[in-house]
Every structure is written in C-alpha cells, then in structure tokens.
Structure 1
Amino acid sequence: MAKLDVVGCLPSKLLGLQRDMLEKWSGPDGELWVERIALTLQGKNPLEAVVKGPAWADEVVAQARRKLKKFFGRLQVDPVPGVWTPEFLENAAKYNMHPVYFIDLVLAKDWSLKNYTKQESWLYEKIREGKISADAVTLKRRWCLADFSVGVDYTDGSQVFPNDPWAPIIEKLRRDLRVIGKYDNTPCGSRFAITPKEWDDVVLAYMASALRVTRAQTCLERAGE
C-alpha cells in the first residue's frame, strides 16, 4: 500500500528538511532572526546568534543546559524551534514526548561517560563493514521530542508498554484498518510485532499527525539516542 493511500498527502522529505531549516532559523515567536541572516552574510555560523525568547522557552533551554552541564560542563544550547509553543508541548506531553537537546557527539567504541551504557561491540563491527550507517552512533546538534514511555521486557510478542498513550492509535491501525500485523498473542495496542516497513509506511505517519508535525520530521530512535 502506498503511503499516500494511508493518511492522505504526506509531505516529501524535501518539505521536512525545509521545515527543519525554518525552525532552526526562527525564534520562539516564529520570526526569522535578522542576526542569523547577518551572520550568514558574514560567512559565520548563523546558529551562534542568541536572541532572548518568551519566559517559557527560556526555561526549556535553561533546563536542557542544566542537564548537559552535569556531564559536559557549560555548553551553548540553541533556542527552541520557532514553531514550538506551550500548547504544542502540552499536546506532545500527552504522548510522553518531551523536549530533548542533542549536542554534536560521536559515540565512539571507547567513549565513556558516567551512567552511559556502551553500545554492543557488534554494532561497531557492522559499521566498520559498512552494513550499518555511522549515523547510528552520531548525535547531531538539534532539538527534538523524545519518547519517555516506560519500556518492558520481551515476552514473545505479548508485551505492552504500561499506560501507553500510543496504544489507541496502534490498535486502530492493527484491528480496524488492518494495515499492520501481529503475532497470535500480540495485543492489538502493543508496539511490538510491527515491521520496519509498517513503522515507516504507516505508524510514524499517524504519530506525526497526532504530534502536529510532518512525517519527514519523525523517525524511530537510533542506537546512539
């Protein structure tokens, strides 16, 4: 089934990149920053511009800065994307999605940090062989919404995240629309037993709609995230 047949007119990857660019160049009030345009014309990094935003946005930035300082010392944190609003974040929180700020960082095989669980050695071997992209262990500087749902141990496909806010949407896709499959013992609202293609073609599109973002802005977590 084609993507367009599932949820209507999905935006292209190019549209998602365009929107990401506008967000990074916009202040919390949604307007492009003259300072960033000026830096670009000077051949400098436009993201170095710092413009004070609304109190709620500054607090989100301050919280991220405090968390990062515990591990990396003092770091610059970019302002939140211009399209973010208190209402937008409140809606995202209903799905256990909360703001997270990533810094530029490569999680090398020998890299370590307090409370950091190292990736399995086979992952780096597959990256060396070219079978897995190095992006899997590369963090890029950006804001994103991350899923803070509590996971569960694998039980032959019968497991379900406790109080999962995504369960009703997944159940609709699996039971009513029949666009994702399941094992015999898989509950209809379970995140498990969904193939990568089903995630890409169907589930992430519906999640994007619920979060009020584009499909091109959604993805599954990578190993390093």
Structure 2
Amino acid sequence: DDEDDEDDDEDDTKTLELLGEWSTGQAALCLSLDPNARILYAGTADGGAVALDAGSLVANDDAGSSSSLNPTTTIGATLGAWTAHEDGVTRSVSHARGGCLTGSSTGAVYAWRVERAKGEGRKVSTPTLAVKMIGHAAAVVSISTGNPRHVVSGAHDGTVRVWNAPDLSAADEDGEERGDAAGGGDVKKSECLYAVTGHTVWLGSVQADETRILCDGANNIAMCYDFSDDPDDNGDI
C-alpha cells in the first residue's frame, strides 16, 4: 500500500516548463507584469529598471527534435533599460497605465512614461520621468496600482502612503510630449495625500483595490484598511 501511495504522489507531481530566461545585467530585486501591454518590468540592484517583452515568450515544437517533450523556446527580448534611481537601489516596481512606477532604497517613488514603438521588435523609446513622489524616509519596498485613481506605497519607515495616480499619457492636449528623458529635467513633484502609520519598519508588502488597503509589517499581523473613495461622505478620500 505504501508503494502504491508513493506511485500516486509521483503521478500527481507536475513539472513547470521553462519557456525562457532574460538577462537583466544586475541582480533583479523586483518584478511586475503588465498583462495588457505584455511588458515585464524588473528593478535591479544598481538602481536600474528594465522593460522585457512578455508577449513573445511562447513554446514552439521543434519539428527536428527527437522528442516533443523538449520544445524550443522563443525568449522574450529586452525592450529597453534605463537608470531609474542614480543614488539608490530599485527596491520595488509596479506597472501602471502608460508606464511604470519604481521605488528607491532612498525613499523616492518615480513614475515613468513608457511608450512602445510600433512594428517588428516594438522596442520602447527612452522612458520619461513624469512625476517624483517624495515622502518616504526609507526604502520603498512595495507599490500597488490596484486602485485606478490612487497609488499606494509601503516603506521601511513603517508607513503606508497614498498618492494621486500620476498621468502617464504620452502627450498633452496640444500633442506635445510631456516629461523629460530618464533622470533629469523639469518634472512634476507630488506629495502624498496622507500616510498611515503604526507599522513596524519591516513592512514588506502593500496591496490595494478600489475599497481596501492591505499590508503587513505590523507586529506579526496583516492589516486591512477601508479605502473607499469617500468613507465618511465628507468629500475627502
């Protein structure tokens, strides 16, 4: 009977198929997949960010292969790479409509416009820095864009902060591009709407949707906050 049980366990074991790998140049510390744009964003230990093609990551049977169990793969291409934080490590990244947000070990959150070119290869143009979101006093280790109107960030300063979602559209009303190439120029600065305190400095993750904020790092418990647009019906979030 024991042997039969072991055989059943082996039959239930499934092995995931490795479809491909990317080289990020430096240690990748965080990932975020944009399922609509089919871009995988990675933040790296040298303060960089990388945009990777998730759309081309598919398995293809090789007709010349001796075994159909060993398909060849098309590895996703690197669409673009840039320095997101010159003075720190990129500790968190989150995709957003029109681009992505990166969190630094120094406490800054940057919002980037990322535009993908048309045609074969569809590389991304050099991302433009749209907004600097300044407020955290330690490494920003988690960013959530699950609420379409607001960004929620968590950091090792023990705070969860709420910000207005930045506009990452590529052009303004007169058709001119906004923002400057990675790292410089006159960009908008944003202050947080409010901060939620009471967490330990080991706060590690935040998640948000249109009605809730969830986070950890509060003395071995996870916490859930009301994140309704106007819970008190007083006109304020």
User: 1 or 2, which has the higher strand percentage?
Assistant: 2
- Same fold per superposition (TM over 0.5): no
> What interval of TM-score do these two structures reach, taking the shorter chain for normalisation?
under 0.3
Structure with higher RCO (Cα < 8 A, 6+ apart) = 1
Greater share of helix residues, 1 or 2?
A: 1
Q: TM-score, normalising length from structure 2?
A: 0.23
